[in-house]
């Protein structure tokens, strides 16, 4: 159901004001120090954003996906990493909502929606990212438990999460999702943690997590016994939301890049005039503004498809592809417009430049998106 536009506008405007007042002035400090922005995350909890697309009956706000995309754009223009805090969390919430039993929804979703319980999504491994079926993580039944062995990579929120939605192969070689319940931190039972150092997307932990004979109750299989072998279905279904998040984050970074370049071009002078008055710079900014608007429209189009209750693989893939590539292009152009200043940490454009590649890689690389799009196009336009 579509969110009332007046209510949606009020929520987005409230978050936008907070971004202007609290996030934008402080984002570079946290990002350069690679320090987790606790106060910002607490405010996102207060806004109800950790359950924003989950129905009210489970403690969420029940917002539509277009409103969600608008919120993620606003947050990410201030600090892209904050959009990542929400992304992995809401992917897991969506998996539980769509594929969990009613008992599991009632058990986990209320605390997830409040943000008191944080969630991490754990699919990728060192040699199994895009090729998820190549995973080697195993779950073997033992009495009333399953025993997990394997190493997972790129686990956003891994340290602070209380719940990890982990994909592992059962003895029949099918991928099944298990909900691992743990304490926040980097010391829990038979799980070891290693932080991954990154070019960008800083201020938020990305973890390698290794499980050695870690026990999980059989009742924590997502969907109970009906969930056996449905892990990839659950993950890929929820990744539609993840790709809309990535697209919206990319729009946020592209917007921040454009707005920084636009402001700088009206302040910086060369050869006796503002650099905006040089046609080469004005035309560059015109191209940037056009591509930014196109990216936003594609993102909203994919979100609208999801709101209609229709599978949005094609639209979400297109949006993720176009928006992420646009973010990278606009971040680079903004740096060029800033000249030498853009290469320093005094200006935020160097952060946008380092953050943008994450959107090209995360939730399926651009190359994988093209494969998904091409496959969908053949189904849609097949000639008999």
Based on the residue annotation, tell me whether 363 is a catalytic residue of this protein: yes
Give the sign of the dihedral formed by CA 197, CA 199, CA 202, CA 206. Answer: negative
C-alpha span between 306 and 164 (Å, rounded): 25
Q: Which two tokens stand for residue 67?
A: 């409103």
Q: How distant, in Å, are the alpha carbons of 71, 146, 156, 246, 342 from that of 17?
A: 12, 47, 27, 22, 26
DSSP 272: T
Q: Which two tokens stand for residue 56?
A: 């009210």
Q: At what angle do helices 349-361 and 231-265 cross, to 10 degrees?
A: 160
C-alpha span between 276 and 273 (Å, rounded): 8
Q: Which two tokens stand for residue 175?
A: 């991928």
Return the half-sphere exposure (C-beta side, CA atoms, 13 A cut-off) of residue 310. 10
Segments of 24-102 assigned E as strands: none
Q: Which two tokens stand for residue 190?
A: 């038979």
Catalytic position from the list 31, 240, 333, 363: 363
CB atoms within 10 A of CB 198: 17
Write the burial class of residue 149 (CB in 10 Å: 0-12 exposed, 13-18 middle, 19+ buried): middle
Give the sign of the dihedral formed by CA 364, CA 366, CA 369, CA 375. Answer: negative
* Residue 204 phi, psi dihedral angles, 5° rounding: -140, 130
C-alpha span between 224 and 312 (Å, rounded): 27
Residues with a catalytic annotation lie at 363
């Amino acid at each position: 159901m579509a969110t009332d536009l007046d209510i949606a506008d009020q929520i987005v405007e409230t978050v936008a004001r907070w971004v202007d007042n609290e996030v934008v002035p402080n984002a570079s400090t946290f990002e350069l120090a690679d320090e987790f922005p606790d106060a910002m995350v607490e405010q996102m909890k207060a806004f109800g954003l950790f359950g924003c697309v989950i129905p009210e009956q489970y403690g969420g706000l029940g917002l539509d996906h277009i409103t969600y995309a608008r919120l993620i754009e606003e947050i990410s223009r201030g600090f892209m990493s904050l959009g990542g805090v929400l992304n992995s969390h809401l992917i897991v919430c969506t998996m539980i909502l769509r594929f969990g039993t009613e008992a599991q929804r009632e058990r986990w979703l209320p605390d997830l929606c409040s943000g008191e319980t944080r969630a991490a999504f754990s699919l990728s491994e060192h040699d199994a990212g895009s090729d998820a079926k190549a995973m080697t993580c195993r779950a073997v039944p033992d009495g009333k438990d399953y025993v997990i062995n394997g190493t997972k990579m790129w686990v956003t929120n891994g340290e602070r999460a209380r719940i990890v939605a982990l994909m592992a192969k059962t003895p029949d070689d099918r991928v099944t999702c298990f909900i691992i319940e743990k304490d926040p931190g980097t010391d829990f039972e038979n799980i070891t943690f290693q932080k991954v150092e990154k070019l960008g997307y800083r201020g938020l932990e990305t973890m390698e997590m290794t499980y050695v004979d870690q026990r999980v109750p059989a009742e924590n299989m997502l969907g109970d016994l009906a969930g056996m072998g449905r892990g990839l279905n659950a993950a890929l279904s929820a990744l539609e939301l993840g790709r809309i998040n990535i697209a919206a984050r990319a729009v946020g970074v592209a917007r921040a890049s454009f707005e920084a370049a636009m402001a700088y071009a009206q302040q910086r002078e060369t050869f006796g005039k503002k650099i905006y008055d040089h046609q080469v710079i004005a035309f560059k900014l015109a191209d940037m503004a056009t591509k930014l608007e196109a990216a936003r429209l594609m993102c909203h189009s994919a979100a609208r498809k999801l709101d209609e209750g229709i599978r949005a693989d094609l639209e979400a893939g297109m949006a993720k592809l176009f928006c992420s590539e646009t973010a990278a292009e606009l971040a680079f152009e903004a740096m060029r417009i800033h000249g030498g200043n853009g290469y320093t940490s005094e200006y935020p454009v160097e952060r946008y430049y380092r953050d943008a590649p994450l959107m090209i890689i995360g939730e399926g690389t651009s190359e994988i998106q093209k494969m998904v799009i091409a496959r969908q196009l053949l189904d849609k336009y097949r000639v008999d």
